[in-house]
């Protein structure tokens, strides 16, 4: 059985590598990625489209895991995510909830302040 915490750690490393295929492959076919201030992306096609919007403008990504905890197949992370986009750097405190099934992410929900992202991303 795959350790859910390690699945999430590997997933975060894929973001830092900006490896869109590895990120996408970490999801189950029916996976859901939900940035809570927005509509969820359900299924790999929708997740791929969302990843493209996030990763394309980023020249670097860092997911600093402050705390990580698991209960069964649910993994919670407290993170600081940093995206370098052109001349701008967006630093975003995030709480994430991951549901892991058969070694893959079935659901990922990130809770953050959208205004913090928007203010830093737009200037």
Element (H, E) at 49: helix 44-55
Among 10, 29, 45, 81, which one carries the catalytic annotation?
Answer: 81
Measured distance CA(118)–CA(123) in Å, rounded: 8
Among 3, 29, 45, 110, which one carries the catalytic annotation?
Answer: 110
User: Is residue 108 within 8 Å of 31, Cβ to Cβ?
Assistant: yes
| Residue 81 is a catalytic residue | yes
Token pair listed for 51: 């990843």
Kindly list the catalytic residues. 81, 110
């Amino acid at each position: 059985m795959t350790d859910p915490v390690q699945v999430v750690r590997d997933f975060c490393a894929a973001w830092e590598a900006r490896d869109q295929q590895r990120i996408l492959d970490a999801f189950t076919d029916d996976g859901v990625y939900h940035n809570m201030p927005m509509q969820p992306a359900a299924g790999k096609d929708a997740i791929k489209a969302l990843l493209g919007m996030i990763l394309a403008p980023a020249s670097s990504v860092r997911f600093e895991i402050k705390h990580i905890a698991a209960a069964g197949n649910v993994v919670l992370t407290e993170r600081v995510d940093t995206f370098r986009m052109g001349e701008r750097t967006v630093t975003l405190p995030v709480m994430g909830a991951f549901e892991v099934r058969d070694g893959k992410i079935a659901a990922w929900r990130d809770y953050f302040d959208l205004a913090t992202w928007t203010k830093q991303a737009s200037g």
